[in-house]
């Protein structure tokens, strides 16, 4: 067996590939809108899909207003990524997730470290917030995010597509059989 050829794809092409696999659904109109932001709830759904996690229903671990409600479409995904140890919310004591906030670049880095089990480097040199410095450095060193980004700023859907595609390649590689030449 051999790993399938990974040609250089554009963010749009990666989005299209992830959409076919049901990992991204597109914005309300089904389109990529790569320049837009994404909420933490939406990203929890994407991570659930790309990691192949089982949705968790009937459990409400967070205390955010309106969270504990069967009509909260995002709760099964947020519970799934929480159970898997990939997201933990913004406040462990108050149990706050903040599902309507946008995903920041440093939050993306935190997710990547946990999803891909990246090692936190000993040498850390970046402008991320204290809790994210190690994860941001790990993601930079792995080539998953640029060192020049505003880590406290929102991650664009384009960046989230690129990162998710990288996770998908590692977690769900396409293995094609290779017949030996005779
Ligand atoms: C509880 C805590 O220390 N949270 C950190 C950080 O781990 C969180 O990462 C994610 C990706 C999450 O797990 O939900 O986004 C929010 C981050 O909040 C941080 O504390 C402000």
Q: What is the pLDDT of residue 5?
A: 44
Whose tokens are 């009937």? That residue is: 58
Dihedrals φ, ψ of 68, to 5°?
A: -80, 80
* 175: pLDDT strictly greater than 80: no
Q: What is the pLDDT of residue 1?
A: 32
- Taking the centre of ligand 1 as the mean of its atom positions, its distance from the CA of residue 90, in whole angstroms, is 4
Render pLDDT for 60-88 as a digit per residue (tens, 0 to 9).
999 999 999 999 999 999 999 999 999 99
Q: How far apart are CA 59 and CA 79, in angstroms?
A: 7
Q: How far apart are the first and last CA of the chain?
A: 16
Q: Is 110 in the pocket of ligand 1 (CB under 6 A)?
A: yes
ipTM over cut 0.95: yes
**Residue 91, Cβ neighbours under 10 Å: how many?**
13
Residue 60 CB burial class (10 angstroms; 0-12, 13-18, ≥19)? middle
Q: What is the pLDDT of residue 4?
A: 45
* 51: pLDDT strictly greater than 60: yes
- Taking the centre of ligand 1 as the mean of its atom positions, its distance from the CA of residue 88, in whole angstroms, is 6
Best of 106, 131, 132 to mutate for ligand 1, by most ligand atoms within 8 A of CB? 131
Q: Is 131 in the pocket of ligand 1 (CB under 6 A)?
A: yes
Q: What is the pLDDT of residue 132?
A: 98
Q: What is the pLDDT of residue 7?
A: 61
Render pLDDT for 139-171 as a digit per residue (tens, 0 to 9).
999 999 999 999 999 999 999 999 999 999 999
Render pLDDT for 106-124 as a digit per residue (tens, 0 to 9).
999 999 999 999 999 999 9
Closest residue to atom 5 of ligand 1, CA basis: 90
Q: Of ligand 1's atoms, which has the minimum distance to the CA of residue 135?
A: 7
């Amino acid at each position: 067996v051999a790993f399938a050829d990974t040609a250089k794809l554009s963010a749009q092409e990666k989005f299209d590939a992830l959409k076919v696999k049901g990992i991204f659904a597109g914005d309300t109109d089904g389109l990529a809108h790569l320049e837009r932001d994404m909420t933490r709830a939406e990203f929890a759904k994407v991570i659930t899909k790309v990691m192949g996690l089982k949705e968790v229903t009937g459990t409400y671990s967070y205390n955010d207003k309106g969270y504990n409600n069967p009509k909260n479409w995002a709760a099964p995904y947020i519970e799934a990524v929480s159970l898997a140890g990939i997201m933990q919310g913004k406040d462990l004591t108050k149990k706050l997730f903040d599902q309507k906030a946008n995903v920041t670049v440093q939050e993306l880095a935190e997710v990547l470290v946990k999803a891909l089990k990246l090692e936190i480097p000993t040498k850390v040199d970046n402008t991320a917030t204290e809790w994210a410095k190690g994860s941001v450095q790990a993601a930079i060193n792995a080539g998953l995010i640029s060192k020049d980004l505003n880590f406290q700023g929102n991650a664009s859907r384009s960046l989230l597509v690129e990162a998710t595609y990288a996770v998908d390649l590692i977690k769900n590689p396409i293995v094609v059989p290779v017949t030996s030449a005779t």
